């Protein structure tokens, strides 16, 4: 039909279901916004509504609380004006709008609400004015004068050149053969118009905006003796094609058309429902590297995820978007849909090039960039968007980048760029092996990891998972950000380079020259077997300097008393593995001696019993070692040192951990 015109904005929404209160049925979102406008305007008299007007335009909105304080719509400043609420008028000499508008028929009510052009065109038809003035019960969604003026000359000429067919049909499409008020206008419903019983799509959004075929209701519920008038901001037209049919006939969707066919989503896009398709144009597909595009097009699962990431679960008209909203896609991701001036934005980017192409099962917005979900990306692509570029460079230099772009099921443990602030390590055989141990043989999700779990790396190591109240760690490295799950791989962003365990606690101590005196003491105390067997220990290991700092007489007495030496050494061994990332402000760790150690962390410095740790997280297969520069003492009442004192109590060291 000649009067088919391109329609208005398509709206965002998660419709609010009907609720009730003890006082009766809850008000609709539109009624709540109107009520807020009345409250804001009541100081100007009865039945006065506060209205926000976009500066430099004729666009007006009843105001909600958030808009009232922000004084902005789509980022543009507004001014507040005060007008008579719908259904009321001023009385000379009296404050506000005390008088209810007298009821008249639909035809006369069109003039009252500011739709005189609709009234004029109704007059030109032979049949419609008598119907609007006669008996019955009708609803008309009447375009404002500005709406008619915004029609192209070509469309307007086609209407007025054949008033008794084209113009009459166009006006009848704006009418419903019964009275419908806003409290009945539910989100996603369809009303049957008086033109060939064609459907009119209704959307009623949580922000109070109501749209009719994506035209916004400007003023609603103007009662007439034979019906009701709703003023809208567009001339609406019939909708004949579903989303799939529109994709098939638009030249700009050639690549999208092929992608939908390959994914098998045709039936979804031509079926029942109300969706929003953020439809990538040919240009959008051309913007991504050919290698990436070909990979996705050749992978049915990735392709389906890609396309579902462009389909929102409900119809969203542009005119309903006055601020930012989080909306869910069929793929399960969340997109931030907002506006900046006249532009719609996705995740803050103005990539919508054409708004509100209406379909029988939803609405289409053209976008000029692809929205590729994580689930369709390789590990390399996931990492490219994260703060781990230095790690990726190391993998490239080590010749390991194929693991990040292939179809291996693995999880990359990628340290943050800040880990390398003092410089990047040199790539050699040892570093390449370490990088191999930053890749786990499976595609993991951090929410399913559990304490004590072991993970196998591509480098052949077994890594342990530690779950703490404030952190989730793999060996000494803790997860610093939400993980990303790609097509085959998962990306865990880590707070440091991983240190795989190298032997038992005794192996670690024996292999480090700093602990020769401690090793001898452990052997004398008969604790070698304990620290060699399978277990979970946290060892605060005094260095040789720590022992040498003790008075010689005291040290000799300690080393000469095997029982007391064992007691002192057991006080240095916690009965669980506590890596530095799990410490927090204060953790009380039970020792093998029985008393508790107080372990704390502040400003990236770890202390035990307020004594500073000189090196943290030396990982062993049965525990973790911390180097300390003093010998810890059990509580004074039971301390070997205290019992050996001849001139007062030695007392605990009390340096602050800063």
Domain boundary (232, 253, 268) is at 232
491: tokens are 């990306």
- Facing residues of 467 across strands? 472
Residue 419 confidence (pLDDT):
95
Domain boundary (53, 82, 99) is at 99
* Residue whose C-alpha is closest to residue 574's, from 601, 598, 543, 539: 539
Quick check: is 579 in a domain?
Answer: yes
Q: The dihedral of CA 630, 633, 639, 642: what is its sign? A: positive
Quick check: is 366 in a domain?
Answer: yes
Within this chain, do residues 538 and 514 fall inside the same structural domain, yes or no? yes
Quick check: is 650 in a domain?
Answer: no
151: tokens are 């029609």
Quick check: is 25 in a domain?
Answer: no
Residue 602 confidence (pLDDT):
87
Quick check: is 74 in a domain?
Answer: yes
Within this chain, do residues 431 and 548 fall inside the same structural domain, yes or no? no
Range of the domain at 56: 35-99
Alpha-carbon span 64 to 62, nearest angstrom: 7
In the chain the first and final C-alpha atoms are separated, in Å, by 79
- Are 600 and 609 in contact by the 8 Å Cβ rule? The answer is no
For 32-55, the DSSP string reads HHHHHHHHHHGGG-TTEEEEEEET
Within this chain, do residues 55 and 122 fall inside the same structural domain, yes or no? no
According to DSSP, residue 569 is labeled H
Within this chain, do residues 362 and 382 fall inside the same structural domain, yes or no? no
Angle between helices 429-436 and 389-397 (to 10 degrees): 120
Quick check: is 7 in a domain?
Answer: no
Within this chain, do residues 172 and 249 fall inside the same structural domain, yes or no? no
Residues contacting 82, CB < 8 A, separation 6+: 41, 44, 48, 49, 50, 51
State whether residue 442 is helix, strand or coil. Answer: coil
- DSSP E strand boundaries for 144-208: 175-176, 190-192, 199-204
Please give the angle made by the CA atoms of 247, 253 and 257, to the nearest 5 degrees. Answer: 65
- Are 617 and 474 in contact by the 8 Å Cβ rule? The answer is no
Angle between helices 254-263 and 300-308 (to 10 degrees): 120
Please give the angle made by the CA atoms of 311, 315 and 321, to the nearest 5 degrees. Answer: 105
Within this chain, do residues 393 and 489 fall inside the same structural domain, yes or no? yes
Considering its fold, how many domains does the chain have in total? 5
- Are 634 and 545 in contact by the 8 Å Cβ rule? The answer is no
Residue 7 confidence (pLDDT):
30
Alpha-carbon span 541 to 630, nearest angstrom: 9
Quick check: is 287 in a domain?
Answer: yes
Within this chain, do residues 250 and 362 fall inside the same structural domain, yes or no? yes
Residue ranges of the chain whose pLDDT lies below 50: 1-22, 637-638, 643-656
Residues contacting 332, CB < 8 A, separation 6+: none
464: tokens are 């342990």
- Are 97 and 84 in contact by the 8 Å Cβ rule? The answer is yes
Quick check: is 237 in a domain?
Answer: no
In CATH, what number is assigned to the domain containing residue 421? 2.30.180.10
Residue 20 confidence (pLDDT):
40
User: How do residues 27-50 score in pLDDT, each as one tens digit?
Assistant: 899 999 999 999 999 999 999 999
Q: How far is CA 560 from CA 228, 242, 514, 525, 546, in A?
A: 102, 90, 21, 10, 18
Within this chain, do residues 112 and 196 fall inside the same structural domain, yes or no? yes
Domain boundary (67, 83, 99) is at 99
Within this chain, do residues 66 and 173 fall inside the same structural domain, yes or no? no
Within this chain, do residues 594 and 565 fall inside the same structural domain, yes or no? yes
Residue 578 confidence (pLDDT):
97
* Residue whose C-alpha is closest to residue 284's, from 346, 334, 239, 326: 346
Residue 641 confidence (pLDDT):
54
Within this chain, do residues 518 and 490 fall inside the same structural domain, yes or no? no
Kindly report the pTM of this predicted structure: 0.83
- Are 581 and 623 in contact by the 8 Å Cβ rule? The answer is no
For 344-389, the DSSP string reads EEETTB--EEEEEEEETTEEEEEESS----GGGS-HHHHHHTTT-H
491 C-beta neighbours (distance < 10 Å), count: 27
Residues contacting 301, CB < 8 A, separation 6+: 487
Alpha-carbon span 575 to 589, nearest angstrom: 8
Within this chain, do residues 192 and 138 fall inside the same structural domain, yes or no? yes
């Amino acid at each position: 039909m000649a009067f088919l015109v391109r329609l208005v904005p398509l709206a965002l929404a998660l419709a609010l279901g009907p609720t009730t209160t003890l006082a009766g049925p809850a008000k609709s979102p539109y009624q709540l916004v109107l009520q807020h406008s009345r409250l804001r305007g009541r100081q100007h008299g009865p039945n006065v509504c506060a209205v926000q007007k976009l500066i430099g335009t004729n666009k007006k909105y009843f105001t909600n609380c958030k808009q009232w304080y922000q004084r902005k719509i789509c980022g543009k400043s507004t001014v507040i004006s005060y007008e008579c609420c719908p259904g009321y008028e001023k009385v000379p000499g009296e404050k506000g709008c005390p008088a209810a508008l007298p009821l008249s028929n639909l035809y006369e009510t069109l003039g009252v609400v500011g739709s005189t052009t609709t009234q004029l065109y109704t007059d030109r038809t032979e049949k419609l004015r008598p119907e609007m003035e006669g008996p019955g019960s009708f609803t008309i969604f009447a375009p404002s004068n500005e709406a008619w003026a915004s029609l192209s000359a070509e469309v307007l000429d086609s209407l007025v050149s054949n008033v008794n067919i084209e113009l009459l049909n166009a006006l009848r499409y704006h009418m419903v053969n019964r009275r419908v008020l806003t409290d009945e206008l539910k989100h996603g419903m369809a009303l049957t118009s008086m033109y060939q019983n064609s459907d009119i799509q209704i959307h009623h959004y949580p922000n109070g905006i109501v749209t009719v075929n994506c035209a916004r209701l400007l003023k609603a519920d103007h009662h007439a003796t034979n019906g009701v008038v709703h003023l809208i901001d567009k001339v609406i037209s019939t909708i004949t094609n579903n989303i799939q049919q529109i994709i098939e006939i638009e030249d700009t969707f050639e690549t999208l058309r092929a992608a939908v066919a390959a994914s098998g989503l045709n039936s979804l896009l031509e079926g029942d429902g109300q969706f929003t398709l953020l439809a990538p144009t040919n240009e959008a597909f051309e913007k991504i590297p050919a290698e990436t595009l070909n990979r996705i097009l050749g992978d049915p699962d990735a392709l389906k995820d890609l396309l579902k990431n462009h389909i929102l679960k409900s119809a969203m008209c542009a005119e309903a978007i006055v601020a930012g909203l989080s909306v869910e896609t069929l793929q399960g991701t969340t997109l931030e849909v907002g506006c900046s001036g006249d532009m719609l934005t996705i995740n803050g980017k103005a990539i919508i090039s054409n708004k509100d192409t209406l379909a029988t099962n939803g609405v289409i917005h053209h976008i000029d960039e692809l929205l590729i979900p994580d689930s369709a990306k390789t590990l390399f692509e996931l990492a490219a968007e994260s703060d781990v570029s230095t790690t990726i460079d190391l993998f490239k230099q080590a010749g390991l980048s194929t693991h990040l772009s292939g179809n291996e099921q693995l999880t990359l443990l990628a340290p943050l760029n800040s880990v390398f602030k003092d410089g990047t390590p040199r790539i050699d055989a040892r570093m390449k092996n370490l990088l191999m141990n930053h890749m786990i043989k499976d595609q993991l999700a951090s929410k399913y990891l559990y304490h004590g779990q072991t993970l196998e790396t591509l480098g052949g190591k077994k890594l342990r998972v530690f779950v703490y109240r404030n952190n989730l760690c793999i060996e000494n490295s803790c997860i610093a950000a939400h993980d990303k799950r790609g097509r085959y791989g998962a990306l865990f962003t880590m707070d440091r380079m991983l240190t795989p365990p190298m032997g038992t606690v005794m192996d670690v101590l024996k292999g480090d020259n700093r602990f020769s005196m401690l090793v001898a003491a452990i052997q004398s105390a008969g604790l070698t077997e304990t620290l060699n067997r399978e277990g979970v220990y946290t060892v605060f290991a005094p260095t040789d300097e720590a022992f040498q700092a003790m008075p010689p007489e005291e040290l000799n007495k300690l080393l000469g008393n095997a029982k007391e030496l064992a007691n002192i050494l057991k006080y240095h061994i916690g009965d669980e593995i506590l890596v530095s990332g799990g410490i927090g402000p204060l953790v009380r760790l039970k020792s093998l001696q029985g008393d508790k150690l107080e372990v704390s962390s502040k400003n990236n410095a770890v202390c035990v019993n307020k004594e500073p740790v000189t090196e943290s997280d030396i990982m062993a297969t049965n525990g973790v070692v911390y180097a300390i520069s003093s010998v810890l003492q059990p509580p004074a009442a039971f301390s070997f040192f205290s019992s050996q004192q001849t001139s007062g109590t030695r007392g605990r060291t009390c340096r602050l951990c800063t």
